[in-house]
Amino acid sequence: QSALTQPASVSGSPGQSITISCTGSSSDIGAYDYVSWLQQFPGQAPRLLIYDVTNRPSGVSNRFSASKSGNTASLTISGLQAEDEAHYYCTSYTRTDTPWVFGGGTKLTV
Amino acid sequence: EVQVAESGGDLMHPGGSLRLSCAASGFTIANHYMTWVRQAPGKGLEWVSVIFHAGATRYADSVKGRFTISRDTSTNTVFLQMNDLTAGDTAIYYCARVGEGWFDPWGQGTLVTVSS
């Protein structure tokens, strides 16, 4: 069982917006502004999508945005495109002996 | 370009030992945290181990006492020594540079299969 809870799957139509939630605790998401989101296509390595809760690395589309409230982080993808179909993982720094924890991943179907 | 590349994955018998390598380029590992993350077939990502820039290390409970992370700053390479392997260690092992709020870049991963 993953330390962070994500829905197993979400779906949307092209052009729509979807939001993926990531629920943790006061020891991880609620403790720091150190949440990141990763995108992973089948057979490929994960890629950093969002860092430090809300920031996009260079090259990531502004259709991807993220936020945090309390112990829950959220990733929103607007203007869905077929190429967004992938697995999305959240991760958070923690104040426990395990410095980072991951969510179980969410499969996005467009 | 900032990159990492893993190597060393193999088919192993239970109880065996294996050492993975992660060669970094475009940055100096001594100035960064470096981590290993694994992904069992069809499963999600699991954090395994980290070596901080000062050299301290941490491990997931699932590998504590069996795995050891280390680095060679002269070759800019990070290692993961894995002992007493079990079927539960079967996974793609990824290396990544890591900060508190980010993991980047990731390597392509190296596959470790533990089977009798």
Per-residue pLDDT reduced to its tens digit, A1-17: 668 999 999 999 999 99
Number of Cβ pairs closer than 8 Å across A and B? 66
Burial of B20 (0-12, 13-18, 19+ CB in 10 A): buried
Q: Which residues of B touch A (CB under 8 A)?
A: 35, 37, 44-47, 50, 58, 60-61, 94, 98-109
Say yes or no for a CB contact (<8 Å) between A45 and B61. Answer: no
User: Rounded to whole angstroms, how far apart are CA atoms B62 and B12?
Assistant: 18
- Closest partner residue to B100 among A45, A93, A101, by Cβ? A93
- Closest partner residue to A93 among B60, B94, B101, by Cβ? B101
Q: Is the dihedral of CA A12, A15, A16, A22 positive or negative?
A: positive
Per-residue pLDDT reduced to its tens digit, B50-59: 999 999 999 9
Per-residue pLDDT reduced to its tens digit, A54-64: 999 999 999 99
Q: Are strands B3-7 and A18-23 parallel, antiparallel or unpaired?
A: unpaired
